[in-house]
Amino acid sequence: MSASAHTSQQEKVEGETSASSPRRAITAAAIGNFAEWYDFAVYGVVASIMALHFFPSSDPVVGLISAYVVFGLTYVSRPIGGLIAGWLGDTLGRRRALSFTILLMCAGTALIGFIPSYNEIGVLAPILLTLCRLVQGLGTGGEYSSAISFVYEHSQARARPIRISYLVTTTFLGITSAVLIASLCTTVLGNEAFEDWGWRVLFWLAAPLGLAGMYLRRKVSETPQFKQLAADRETSEVKAAPIRSTFRTQATAMILFFCIVSSYALITPILSSYFITFIQLSGGLTSGQSYNVSLAINVVMIATTLAAGRVMFRYGLQRTFIVGGLFIAVVSVPAFAISTLGIVGALIGGSLLSIGKGLVAVAAAMAMSYMFPAKVRVTAGAFAYNVCTILFGAAGPSLGIWLNSVTGSNITFSVYLAIVGALSAIAAIIGRQRLKEPADELVTA
């Protein structure tokens, strides 16, 4: 072999090694994860402002509930997006799915910033808002499962809990960034200008995030596990049918996953959307104060998430779920009660809820790949997760406002959260076998 040929071959190998490195895989997955949860949080952060621009009403509670209903509609298109991304991910590759999800997700978010208000175009405003949210849902429906599968399959078994905790941390960084940018815009522009037009900046920022994500994901290689799966299919001439296979072989696993992850599905919109509104209405905090509280408790959440990866590494997936679910069950009611007592109370109560979320978040992410075999991993994980978020997450903020309004108590909703936390822990105990061994090992056993 000539020197130039040898050099070319060496460069090719080095390029492939670099493209398939775990660090690059985490970065490529993380940018989309960051964008997904930034997009998710932005709407919740400015929900009260969106209500004024798109759902004018003489009753502010009705307007706010309308805004949260549209917030929840995103979840309706998520299972469809999950099935589409799942089919792409389990048939054509995880990387293809990641490109699809980030494109739809960020486009839907950026376009919201350009929609005229109700006063300018009437009923067309909430219709366009709804359409953009549905497009967002198509993208987000497959993003989380695809990104987790990507990192899971690019990592050795022992490294997976830690690396997935890093990935989950980027979701909270996305949420934190949404709150931070909202706080900065409020400070720079003033409350009046921010509520008039400045809130749109938060949505426009999704466009450069999407472009950066597309670029990074084109530079990373497919996962080794999917490459092997594709090679086996080609050798055996078996055609991939992930959607049919998912419903035929994974129904029991999906139901179990649904129950185990219920606490995470519910507490996610509570902390990213509902809690800000709650401490404003029940704790008397201003928008700026509530954003600062949200930033502080997100720091607690990030620290807990990083610690949870190490807890799961040492004690396993099942025990992490049990501890997280029980913690949420115990602290939910006192946390919300404390949060009505001004800024300090909101910081303490929000921090307690954040610890609970951080514990179950890493376990939920790990379970999304751990509980399903490689041939249907993205499809089964995405569908089960999105159905769970519809039933527990989509209705969360609206249900919270309604329950508190009907009962006349501002902490009634916290009882519901406590019950769901207990359900999650019980399901983890029942599903011991599924949480002890990875699905691929159970299939081959």
DSSP string, 132-183: HHHHHHHHHHHHHHHHHHHHHHTS-GGGHHHHHHHHHHHHHHHHHHHHHHHH
Say if pTM beats, i.e. exceeds, 0.75: yes
| Cβ–Cβ under 8 Å, residues 304 and 355 | yes
Give every CB contact of residue 73 below 8 A, 6+ residues apart in sequence: 130, 133, 134, 137, 394
Predicted pLDDT of residue 348 = 95
Percent helix / strand / coil, the chain, rounded to 5: 85, 0, 15
Distance CA 188, CA 62 (A): 30
| The two structure tokens encoding residue 83 | 């099935």
More confident site: 134 or 18: 134
Distance CA 14, CA 11 (A): 5
Amino acid at 225: Q
CB-based contact 105:36 (threshold 8 Å):
yes
Q: How many CB atoms lie within 10 A of CB 16?
A: 11
How far apart (Å, rounded) are the C-alpha atoms in residues 243 and 92? 13
Task: Taking the CA atoms of 226, 229, 230 and 231 in sequence, report the sign of the dihedral they define.
Answer: positive
Q: Select the more confidently predicted residue: 175 or 353.
A: 353
Alpha-carbon span 304 to 323, nearest angstrom: 13
* CATH tag for 21-218+245-444 (out of 1.20.1250.20, 3.40.50.1100, 1.10.3720.10, 3.40.50.970): 1.20.1250.20
First to last CA, the chain: 45
Reported confidence tier of residue 66, pLDDT bands at 50, 70, 90:
low
CB-CB contact of 360 with 119 (8 Å)? no
Q: Which helix or strand (DSSP H or E) is residue 362 part of?
A: helix 342-370
With a pLDDT cut of 90, the percent of the chain lying above it is: 22
State yes or no: pLDDT of 301 exceeds 80: yes
Q: What is the DSSP letter of 437?
A: S
The one-letter amino acid code at 370 reads: Y
Q: Can you give the residue ranges of every domain in the chain?
A: 21-218+245-444
Confidence label for 9 from pLDDT (cuts 50, 70 and 90): very low
| Torsions phi, psi for 373 (to 5 deg) | -70, 160
φ, ψ of residue 284 in degrees (nearest 5): 75, 20
Phi-psi region of 190 (alpha: psi -120 to 50; beta: other; left: phi over 0): left
Tokens describing residue 197: 């037009």
CB contact at 8 A, 290 and 342: no
* Confidence band, pLDDT 50/70/90 cuts, at residue 14: very low
What's the whole-number mean pLDDT along residues 297-312? 91
Q: How many residues are there in the chain?
A: 445
pLDDT value at residue 10: 40
Is 114's pLDDT higher than 70? yes
Is the separation of the CB atoms in 242 and 86 below 8 Å?
A: yes
Rg (Cα) of the chain, in Å, rounded?
22
User: Considering only CA atoms, which of 13, 337, 46 is closest in space to residue 199?
Assistant: 46
Q: Reply yes or no on whether the pLDDT at 64 is more than 70.
A: no
